[in-house]
Chain A
Amino acid sequence: MNKPLKQHLIDPEICIRCHACVEACPKDAITFNDDNVVVDAAICDGQMACIGPCPTGAIDNWRVVATPYSLEEQLEWMELPEQQEIAAGEGEADSEALDDAIATLLAEAHKGAGGVARAPASAAKPTVNLHGLENPLKVRVQGNFRLTAAASDNDVRHIILDLGPGHFPILEGQTIGIIPPGEDAQGRAHLPRLYSVSSPRDGERPSTNNLSLTVKRVQGGVCSNYVCDLGRGDEVLVTGPYGSTFLLPDDPEARLVMICTGTGSAPFRAFTMRRQRVMPTVNGRMKLFFGARSPDSLPYFGPLGKVPQEFLEKHFAFSRVDGKDKTYVQDRLRQDGEALAMMLTDARTHIYLCGLKAMEAGVEEAFNDIARASGLNWAEIRARLREEGRYHVETY
C-alpha cells in the first residue's frame, strides 16, 4: 500500500500561531508547540472547517506525499517543503474533494484541460466536502420543470432543491452529489452522482437558501431517472459541495468565453446570473457558445433570449434543424475567430468548456486554427491559461 496521499499542511512562514484552526477543527487534528501549528495526517479527514477561520491563509496548503510528514518533522519546520515528484501525477491540483470516488470522477471530468487544474486567482474560496457519504444533507424538492419542448425526445429538467435550515454554501461552477435510493446489482448502496449547480451562490432568487440543477433523463440511468421523476416536497440526500477549480473569477474585468452542449450549460447559467446580480452594467465581457440538436432541445432557450446580447453574447449551434446545415460549437467558434484570437492574448480572458467529452476534440481543433491564423500557438496559450487558472474543462 503506497498510495499517494494529499496531506494537509500549514505554512509556518505565514502562520501566526493564533490557534483559530485548533479551535475550529471538529476532529482535534491540529496541535502545536511554541513554534509551529501542525496538522496530524492520521486524524485530519479533510472537511476543512479550519480554512475559513484562518486569518492568514497559512492553513490552505497541501502536498501529495507517499509517506505523510510526521508531527515531529512539521513542528521543526521553518518553511514548507517543496512538492516532491510523485509518480502518480495528478498531485498538485487544488483539493477538489478528498473522498476518493468523487475525486476520481472530478479528475476525470477535468482531464480535458490537459494538466493540473487551478482556480481563477480572484475566485471566492469554495467550501468542499461539507457533507460526505456518511453525513449527507437531507433537502426537499421545491420544483421540477421540464426545460425542453414536450415534443422533443430530449427530456431536460430544471430541479430546484430547498436547503431549508441546512448549511450548504455553494459557488457557481461547483458540483453536488445526489444519492439515488436503493442498491446496485451487488447489493451495495449507490454512490452519489455528480451534478453541476445551475444557480448562483445566493440562490435562485437573491437570499434564498436553495439551488438548482439541470438534469437530463438518460435511458436506463439510475440517478437521472430518479431525479427527473422527483416531485415537489420529495426528500433527497445530497453530498458535497465539490470542486475548487471550475469557478467564476470575482472580477468585473474578467472576460469569459463559455462553451457548452446540453446540460453543460448549468454552470454558465450560474455564472451569468451571478454577474447579472453583482455587476449588471458590465457589458461586452461574456460570450456563450451553446450547442444542441435544435432550439426546442436546448435547455433555457427561452430565458437565454431575455438576457441582452450586450451583456451575454450568444452563439447557438444546432446540429439537427430541418433544411439547414449541421452546425456545431466549433463552427461557431471559427466564425467568431477574429474576436477570439484577440482574447487569447488578453490576460483577462477565462475560457470554460462544459458538456459531453465528444465536444473536446472539435473545440481543440477550432482553437488551434484560430490561434494559427493569428500566428499564435494554441498549445502554449492553453498551458499558460491553465497555469494561471484561466482555462477550465469539465466534460463527461
Chain B
Amino acid sequence: MSDTINVSYDTQIPNNVGLSSDRRVLKALEKWHPGYLDWWKGQGPDGFQESLVYLRTAVSVDPKGWAKFDYVRMPEYRWGILLAPQVEGRIIPCGEHYGEPAWQEVPGEYRSMLRRLVVIQGDTEPASVEQQRFLGKTAPSLYDMRNLFQVNVEEARHLWAMVYILQKYFGRDGREESAELLQRRSGSDEKPRMLGAFNEETPDWLSFFMFTYFTDRDGKMQLESLAQSGFDPLSRTCRFMLTEEAHHMFVGETGVGRTIQKTCERMREAGIDDPTDIGRVRDLGVIDLPTIQKKLNLHYTLSLDLFGSEVSTNAANAFNAGIKGRYRENKIDDDHRLQDATYPVSEFTDGKIVVKEVPALTAINMRLRDDYSRDALGGVKRWNAIIRKHGFDFELTLPHEGFHRQIGTYTGAPITPEGEVITPEEWAARRDEWLPSKEDGDFIASLMKPCWEAGKYAGWIAPPRVGIDNKPGDFEYVQLHMA
C-alpha cells in the first residue's frame, strides 16, 4: 500500500504522490529544479540566504504532521509536492457534469481552460516572492522577518504545487509553461507577471501586511474555488495549499493589528485624543490611523480587481465545465448547476450605479468577490475593536466597490470611498485624501528601520501576543549569519 499521508524523502523532491515510481514526471521536475533554485537565489529574499530561519515544514499532510518547526537555511528548505488525501467517491461538485465521478485525468475538452487557470494561479506565487525580496532588510523584528520568510518559502512551494500539475498532466505544454513561470518577473517591462497587483511594488512593511491581508486573501478565495474543482488532483493540491495560506492571512491581519495597537498606545501615552491630528501622531514615530485607512483603500481595491469582470463568460464556462467551483461549493444548498438562478450585480452606466439581476452563472466572479469582501470585513472589525478598546472615535472601513477600480464595470469611475459619484476633476483633486500620497509613502518609509535584536520591535509596531510555535518573547527566530 502506498503511503499518501506521510512525505517521502526518497527522491530529491519530498512528496506524497509516489514520485519515485513516476519516472517521467520525476525526470521533468529534476530538470526544472536547478532553474528553480537559480530563481530562488536570484529573486528570493535578498541577503538572507545563509541565515538560519525557524521555519515550519510539512512532514505529512494530516493535521498532526504538517507543522513541524526547525531552523533551516532557506535554499535548503524542503520544497515538495504535497496533495491532500484523496476523498473516496468524490464527485464533480458543480456544472453540467455535476454528480459524475471527479476526473483523475485532464478532461480533453477542458484542457486549455484548465491549463490557463493553473498557469495564472502559478504565476502569482513566485511574483509575490519577487515583490517582497528586499523587505527583510527593514524587518521591524526577527519575529516579523521569520514570518516574511515563511510566507516566501510557502509561496514558492505553491509554485511547485502548480508546476507539478503542469508537468504531470500537461505534457510538453506543461513543461514550457513551467519554464515560463521562472522567466516572468514582477514589475518587468519585457516579461511582467500576468496580473496587475503582482507587478506593484511592496515598498514597506505596512504594504506587506496589507498585501498579505487583502491580496493573499484573493489568493485564498481563488484556491478555495479551485479546491472545488472536478479535476481531483487540482482540488487536492489546492486543499493543502489552503492550510499554508492561512499563515499568510495571519501575518497580514496581526501585522496591521499590531501597527494599529502601537499607534493607539502611543497616542494614549502622549495624551492625543484626535486620531486625525496627523502631524502630532507622526511625531511619535507611529503610523496615523488615516494613513492606515488610505493603505487599506489602496490594497483592497487592487485586490478587488483580481476577481476580474463582474459578469464573465470565462468564469461561467469554468463553472459549467466543473473545473472551478464557488466558495465552499460543497456546503451550498442549491442545484449546483445554476440553470435558472440569478444574482444581483452592480453596474455603472451613464454616471449612475444600478443593481441588476443577471444569470447567476455569469456572475460567478461577482459572487466570489462578495464572499471575499465578507471575509475581509472580519479583520477590519478586529482592528476597529483595538481602536475602540483604546477609547478612540475612529473607524476603519472597506471602501465602496466602485472606488479606485481598474477592471470591470467601474473602471476609471469617479466614485468616492463612500460610493458617491462625483466629477472626474473633483476625484482627481481629492485623490490624496483617499489613497496614499508620495508624502505618506515617504513618511512610512522613514520608519522602516531594521530592528534585529531578539525580542525587540521597531517603534511603530507592537509585539505579538503569542509567539510562533509558542516560543517565548525573546526567541531568536532568525539567526542572521550575515555575510
Chain A residues within 8 Å of B, Cβ to Cβ: 13-14, 16-20, 23-24, 34-35, 49-53, 55-58, 60, 78, 121-122, 124-125, 127, 130, 165, 167, 169
Are A16 and B253 CB-contacts (below 8 A) given A24-B63, A34-B377, A53-B246? Answer: yes
Judge whether A16 and B250 touch: CB under 8 Å: yes
Instruction: Give the nearest-CB partner of B471 in chain A.
Output: A122
Interface residues, chain B, with chain A CB atoms under 8 Å away: 3, 5-6, 60, 62-67, 69, 239, 242-243, 245-247, 249-250, 253-254, 374-375, 377-379, 381-382, 385, 465-467, 469-472, 475
A125 touching B247, Cβ below 8 Å = no
CB nearest to B247 among chain A residues: A55
Contact across chains for A20 and B246 when beta carbons are under 8 A apart: yes
Min distance, Cβ A75 to any Cβ of chain B, angstroms? 13
Q: Are A53 and B465 neighbours in the complex by a CB distance under 8 Å?
A: no
* Residues of the A chain whose Cβ atoms lie less than 8 Å from the Cβ of B249: 16, 18, 55
A125 near B378: Cβ-Cβ < 8 Å: no
Q: Which residue of B lies closest to A207 (CB)?
A: B9
Whether B243 and A122, one on each chain, are in contact in the complex, defined by CB atoms closer than 8 angstroms, is no
Quick one: which of A14, A18, A20, A23 contacts B466, CB cutoff 8 A? A14
Contact partners of B63 in chain A: CB under 8 A = 24, 49-53
Q: Are B64 and A130 interface neighbours, CB within 8 A?
A: yes
Q: Is the CB of B64 within 8 A of A18?
A: no
With A13-B465, A14-B466, A167-B60: A52-B66 Cβ-Cβ less than 8 Å: yes
Main secondary structure of the interface of A (DSSP, over half): loop
B473 to chain A, nearest CB (A): 9
B250 near A18: Cβ-Cβ < 8 Å: yes
CA distance A229 to B253 in the complex (A): 57
Taking CB atoms, residues of chain A closer than 8 Å to B382 are: 13
Question: Known: A23-B243, A121-B472. Is A34-B67 also a contact (CB below 8 A)?
Answer: no
Shortest distance between the CB of B326 and any CB in chain A (Å): 16
Interface hub of B243, B375, B379 (most chain A Cβ within 10 A): B243
A126–chain B nearest beta-carbon distance, Å? 11
25 A/B residue pairs, CB under 8 Å, sorted by A:
A14-B254, A16-B246, A16-B250, A17-B378, A20-B242, A23-B239, A23-B243, A24-B63, A24-B243, A34-B378, A35-B378, A35-B381, A52-B63, A53-B67, A53-B243, A56-B250, A57-B467, A58-B466, A78-B385, A121-B472, A122-B472, A125-B470, A167-B5, A167-B60, A169-B64
Q: A16-B253, A57-B470, A167-B60 known; A122 and B475 CB under 8 Å?
A: yes
Residue from B246, B467, B470 whose CB has the most chain A CB atoms within 10 Å: B246
Q: Is the CB of B65 within 8 A of A57?
A: no
Q: Are B470 and A18 in contact (CB under 8 A)?
A: no
Contact pick for B254, options A16, A35, A124, A165, CB 8 Å: A16
- Residues in A with CB closer than 8 Å to B246 are 16, 18-20, 53, 55
Contact: A20 with B243, CB < 8 Å? Answer: yes
Evaluate contact between B374 and A34: CB separation under 8 angstroms.
Answer: yes
| A-side contacts of B253, CB under 8 Å | 16
Partner of A53, one of B5, B66, B374, B467: B66
- CB proximity of B481 to chain A, nearest CB, Å: 16
Instruction: Give the chain A neighbours of B245 by CB distance below 8 A.
Output: 18
For residue A21, give the distance in angstroms from its CB to the closest CB of chain B. 9
Minimum CB–CB distance from B271 to chain A (whole Å) comes to 26
Q: Which residues of chain B have C-beta atoms less than 8 A from A121's C-beta?
A: 470-472
Task: For the complex, give the distance between the alpha carbons of A233 and B3 in Å.
Answer: 23
**B479 smallest CB distance to A (angstroms):** 12
With a cutoff of 8 Å between Cβ atoms, the chain A residues found around residue B65 in the complex are 52, 167, 169
B466's nearest neighbour on chain A, judged by CB, is A57
* CB of A163 to closest CB in B, whole Å: 12
Report Cα–Cα, A389/B69, bound state, in Å.
21
Most B Cβ at <10 Å: residue of A17, A18, A169? A18
Which residues of chain B come closer than 8 Å to A127, judged between CB atoms? 64
A78 to B469: give the CA distance in the assembly, Å: 24
> Which residues of chain A come closer than 8 Å to B62, judged between CB atoms?
49, 167
Residue from A56, A124, A127 whose CB has the most chain B CB atoms within 10 Å: A56
Q: How far is the CA of A124 from the CA of B467 in the complex (A)?
A: 12
Task: State A171–B72 Cα separation when bound (angstroms).
Answer: 21
Inter-chain CA distance A16–B63, complex, in Å, is 18
B254 / chain A contacts, CB cutoff of 8 Å: 14, 16, 56
Across the two chains, which residue of chain B brings its CB closest to A50? Answer: B63
Contacts of A20 in B (CB 8 A): 242-243, 246
In angstroms, how far is the closest chain B Cβ from the Cβ of A299? Answer: 31
Once the chains are docked, how many angstroms separate the CA of A51 from the CA of B471?
A: 15
What's the Cα separation between A52 and B465 when bound, in Å? 18
CA distance A20 to B243 in the complex (A): 6
Nearest residue, chain B, Cβ from A130: B64
* Chain B residues near A125 (CB-CB < 8 A): 469-470
- By a CB distance below 8 angstroms, the chain A residues around B378 are 16-17, 34-35
Q: What is the bound-complex CA distance between A105 and B239, given in angstroms?
A: 40
Which residue of chain B is the closest to A32 with respect to CB atoms? B378
- Neighbouring B residues of A57 by C-beta, 8 Å: 466-467, 470
B257 to chain A, nearest CB (A): 9
A315 CB, min distance to chain B CBs, angstroms:
30
**B470 adjacent to A56 (CB under 8 Å):** no
Question: Which of chain B's residues have a CB closer than 8 A to the CB of A53?
Answer: 63, 66-67, 243, 246
CA distance A124 to B65 in the complex (A): 14
Q: Chain A: which residue is nearest B468 at the CB level?
A: A57
Bound CA–CA A57/B253 (angstroms):
14
Give the chain B neighbours of A17 by CB distance below 8 A: 375, 378
CA distance A130 to B62 in the complex (A): 13
Report yes or no: A167 in contact with B469, Cβ–Cβ below 8 A. Answer: no
Give chain B residues whose Cβ lies under 8 Å from the Cβ of A13. 382, 385, 465
Nearest 3 A/B pairs, CB to CB: A18-B246, A24-B63, A55-B247
User: A34-B374, A55-B249, A167-B62 given. 17 additional CB < 8 A pairs?
Assistant: A13-B465, A14-B466, A16-B246, A16-B378, A20-B243, A23-B242, A23-B243, A49-B63, A52-B63, A52-B65, A53-B246, A56-B254, A58-B466, A122-B472, A122-B475, A127-B64, A167-B60
Q: Please name the residue on chain A nearest to B253 by beta carbon.
A: A16
Looking at the assembled complex, report how far the CB atom of B147 sits from the nearest CB atom of chain A, in whole angstroms. Answer: 10
